Structure 1
Amino acid sequence: MAFDENNAQRIRTFLQHKEADFFEKKMFGGLVFMVDKKLCCGTRLDKQTGENLLLCRIDDKAYQDALERDDIIPMPNAERPMKNYIFVTENGWQRNPDLEFWLQICLEFNPIAKASKKK
């Protein structure tokens, strides 16, 4: 589980400022933030490049718009990308206004996002 603690703290600070009900969980090779018991966002270091990635769970429209950007990587799955999940590369979220933009989109989607099925 590799992630940059400074970036994790930036996410924590934003969520605390928004008074989000969140907790952290090590998952997807990094650290994710669960809001209202649903995956909302996260951060990890790319194993191959060492680049800091921001994991975002966003709605369908934001997902389609994001895929047209150069700083977005669809989250891979076994056969195809996972719908509504993207990674934002470092240059797309290192400035605070950019990070806040992505995290706000994640928070706006969270109330309508489906919770994971309990195993």
Structure 2
Amino acid sequence: MTEEREALAERIRSIIGDDPNITEKKMFGGIAFMLNGNMLVGPHKDGTLMARVGPDLYEEALSRPGARVMDFTGKTMKGFIHVHPDKITDDEALATWIALATEFVGALPAK
């Protein structure tokens, strides 16, 4: 894993703590954090955060500073966003994004 990706993964781990409903899964050449088996958030190699916010929170999430459409291999993934590393430099900002993703993913049926 790249240094930026691993640093962000460690920060995510420290925020989510030892929640037994959250696991890590190798995905997209890195890792994704899964809540009840559903993708929640993940660090990209450049330190960008991927967050799954769902369709209802999508536009609101995109209106936040540093958020952009998640374009994975040229295809927009509706309900997923990327957050620029400059906008998650402190743990409070990162925790806010994790909480937003948890709002959507926590309501999904467990896999």
User: Quick check: TM above 0.5?
Assistant: yes
Contact 1:58–1:106 (CA under 8 A) maintained in structure 2: yes
Runs ≥4 residues deviating over 4 A: 77-80
Contact 1:20–1:35 (CA under 8 A) maintained in structure 2: no
User: What value does the CA root-mean-square deviation take over the aligned residues?
Assistant: 2.3
Q: Deviations over 1:79-110 (max 9, x none)?
A: 64111101101112111110010001111211
Gaps of 5+ in 1: 46-50
- After TM superposition, the structure 1 = structure 2 runs for residues 1-119 of structure 1, keeping only pairs within 5 Å, are 2=2, 4-16=5-17, 19-45=19-45, 51-77=46-72, 80-113=75-108
Q: How many positions carry a matched residue from both structures?
A: 110
AA aligned to 1:35 is L
* Secondary structure of 2:78's aligned partner: coil
- Distance, in Å, in 2 between the alignment partners of 1:77 and 1:115 is 24
Gaps of 5+ in 2: none
Structure with the bigger RCO (C-alpha within 8 Å, sep 6+) is 2
Identity across the alignment (%): 29
Deviation, structure 1 residue 68: 2.7
Q: TM-score, normalised by structure 1?
A: 0.77
Deviation, structure 1 residue 27: 1.1
